[in-house]
Amino acid sequence: MRVLQLCHKSPYPAKDGGCLAILNISQGLLNAGIDLKILAIETHKHPFIKKLIPKDFIEKTKIESVFVDTSLNIVDAFSSLITQDSYNVSRFFSADFDFKLQEELENNEYDIVHLESLFMTPYLSSIRAHSNARIVLRSHNLEFIIWKRLARQSGNVAKRAYLNLLAHQLKNYELDILNQVDGIAAISRRDAIDFEKLGSKKPKLIIPFGINLDVYTPVINENPQLNFFHLGSMDWTPNIEGLNWFLDEIWPEINKAFPKSHFYLAGRDMPEDFYKRKSPNVHIVGEVEDAKNFINSNSIMIVPLLSGGGIRVKIIEGMALGKAIISTAVGAEGLHYKNKKNIWIANKVDDFIKAINYFNEDLQNINKMGLSARALAESDYNEKRIIEMLISFYEELLSSPIFNPGKITA
């Protein structure tokens, strides 16, 4: 089977959850013996740095990139308000990338064209015109829901109105595009159900973020400490919003109740405002060289998201490394968890205090929940099993000219 994977950013360097999600699909398909070709968009935010890509990965995928300037253009953004186009998506369209894609499809035959995220759907017409391949959309999340939630959280009337408009435009775009692909690989059951509510009649497969558990080795501290950490890309608006809420409203109460506890905040592109904060016992680490080492060196992961969609990759990585995790319901959305067994859900101050009291009463509860989280990662987020499901989905799409419309496969 020949698969062309179109990516809105390069899988290497795997510096955020989105890159990891793409890379795990790529590597999983290669490990399963799929003939894979990768064509990626390069941006200022996600540069294509060939020397950072393993040579064998380059040889196997023949990965190529085309630079696309996705930075905010005020004129285009304003025009989209008038034309009702979704500027969030349209800025990923490039004539250069489109030409490269057409050239690739004219010179090579593919069975499947795999689109990583909604941002690659502007190229659907070119794929249809130059290939008979089945098109599968790997949905990382429902984009319009992210902006709808951000609008709900905004206290600025003008900003809220603009975010609501963006959400409306995205929703209209997603409604239109969902029935133009041949199949949808949703990252969670919640997303698959939401796709159906939007009117999608295409077959859907639920394939969560999968990881190679062999490279995630938990370090169990026999004498765990009551310290907390967050690790995530700090150029993502929901992360900034959630952490501002946590540091303004939640951490002062935690620090008052547990004055010896510490909070370590790490992530690339850390806004300067966080360094200027005077929050007690809060340590702004910034970008870390080794995410796994950072996670292993701390005790309890905090995921204070108030908006966003899809699945939080860092939670699954934390589970794989045997970490106790306290998350809002939004942060844990789409995960197959049992509250207070393999994760603790906290949406307000009292919830956080109750969770920390539980760990503080017996610090071994930190390890207990961490081991339960690892077991969940092993059972539900094993990369090999997930890739097998994806390939079966490809095969079913290829073998059946009329695939069961609306079917959701778990």
Task: Provide mean pLDDT across the span 85-110.
Answer: 85
pLDDT at 210: 85
Q: Could you tell me the pLDDT band of residue 265, with boundaries at 50, 70 and 90?
A: very high
Read off the pLDDT of residues 324-344 as tens digits, 9 standing for 90 and up. 999 999 999 888 899 999 999
In the three-class reduction of DSSP (H, G, I as helix; E, B as strand; rest coil), residue 268 is classed as coil
Residue 61 CA, distance from chain mean position:
22
pLDDT at 195: 78
Q: To the nearest whole percent, how much of the chain has pLDDT over 70? A: 85
To the nearest whole percent, how much of the chain has pLDDT over 90?
62
Compute how many other C-beta atoms are within 10 angstroms of the C-beta atom of residue 56.
9
pLDDT at 148 over 80: no
d(CA 285, CA 229): 10
Residue 274, SS3 per DSSP? helix
pTM surpassing 0.75? Answer: no
Name the strand (E) or helix (H) holding 163: helix 157-177
- Of the pLDDT bands very low, low, confident and very high (cuts 50, 70, 90), residue 118 is confident
Q: Does residue 65 surpass a pLDDT of 80?
A: yes
pLDDT on residue 312: 81
Q: How confident is the model at residue 365 (pLDDT cuts 50, 70, 90)?
A: very high
d(CA 300, CA 205): 32
Residue scoring higher pLDDT (214 or 109): 109
Classify residue 386 by burial, with Cβ atoms within 10 Å: 0-12, 13-18, 19+. buried
Size of the chain, expressed as the number of residues it contains: 410
Instruction: Write down all domains in the chain, each with its CATH number in brackets.
Output: 2-210+382-409 (3.40.50.2000), 214-380 (3.40.50.2000)
Mean pLDDT value of segment 304-312: 77
As given in the structure block, the two tokens for residue 203 are 């077959």
CA dihedral (351, 232, 42, 382) in degrees, to 10, reads: -80
For the ranges 68-82, 101-115, 193-207, the maximum mean pLDDT occurs at 101-115
Whether residue 268 has pLDDT greater than 80: yes
